[in-house]
Amino acid sequence: MNKWKIAFCALVISLALPITAHATNIKINSVSGIWKNVTGNPYNLNGNNTKQISWGKSTGNGQSSYKFQGKAPPIFSVDINTPFTVGTFTHYNNPIQENSITGATLYTTFSLTIDGVTLNNLHFSYNFLHNETPNSKPCQAGSASVCDDIVKITNNVAQSDTFKINGVDYTISFTGFKINGQTFSEFFTKENYTNTASLIAVITKAVVGVPEPETYLTLGSFILAGAVLAALSKRRKTLKT
């Protein structure tokens, strides 16, 4: 193989090497939630506008309560298109007397950093309905104790926000509260037990309708390879004459 063919092969191989795509660096900085808009004229309500509300007159094991615990801080990293847990909601069902709540709204606040750009104060809210059932039969169908309290989230559906960072559109979607990976419409909590659901989110990146850098590189390789072949062919013809 002469030096022209060796040079040509080296050129094609070097041009065909892929360009490493930029990996998006995403960090979740903080997640918090507070309870507001409590309904039902509850007895001895505690913790309004905090991450945990409690209500009712304890019969020995404490008040019943709702709590939201954000996963961050500490800061953690996530990947594009990969669902992750934002935080957890816990219902503490203790036997109580006197009036209970009938509902409350959870307001969450979210902060993240993408490729060095920080976004604060992203907000999502969920509306809860609460049924503090009497601790005596008959119980609602599905109860495993006497009687399970029932929690519903009326807007347990996807909520999203889109923002632009370094010229690229990103969307964060809160896909809702899930138990064992399944979105629920209501759940039953037995007396003297707790029940927990995870709030799940995913971050996606807009797909622009243009070729990736690898596509441009491949096209360029073919064009340059064709030009080199044409030059070599012309040189051989010149040498023969």
Cα–Cα distance list, 51 to 90, 96, 104, 167, 224 (Å): 11, 21, 12, 36, 62
Tell me what pLDDT residue 162 has.
94
Whether the pLDDT of residue 7 is over 50: the answer is: no
Whether the pLDDT of residue 203 is over 60: the answer is: yes
Whether the pLDDT of residue 78 is over 50: the answer is: yes
- pLDDT tens profile 105-119: 999 999 999 999 999
Tell me what pLDDT residue 4 has.
47
Which one has a higher pLDDT value, 13 or 129? 129
Closest CA to 195 of 93, 52, 71: 93
For range 219-229, the mean pLDDT: 47
The pairing of strands 26-39 and 103-114 is antiparallel
CA distance 114 to 206: 14
Banded pLDDT at 140 (limits 50, 70, 90)? confident
Contact by Cβ (8 Å): 139, 150: no
CA distance 115 to 174: 21
Q: Angle at Cα 50 formed by Cα 111 and Cα 85, nearest 5°?
A: 40
Whether the pLDDT of residue 223 is over 50: the answer is: no
CA distance 32 to 111: 9
Whether the pLDDT of residue 233 is over 70: the answer is: no
Helix axes 3-16, 213-240, angle to 10 degrees: 170
The length of the chain is 241
- pLDDT tens profile 116-129: 999 998 999 999 99
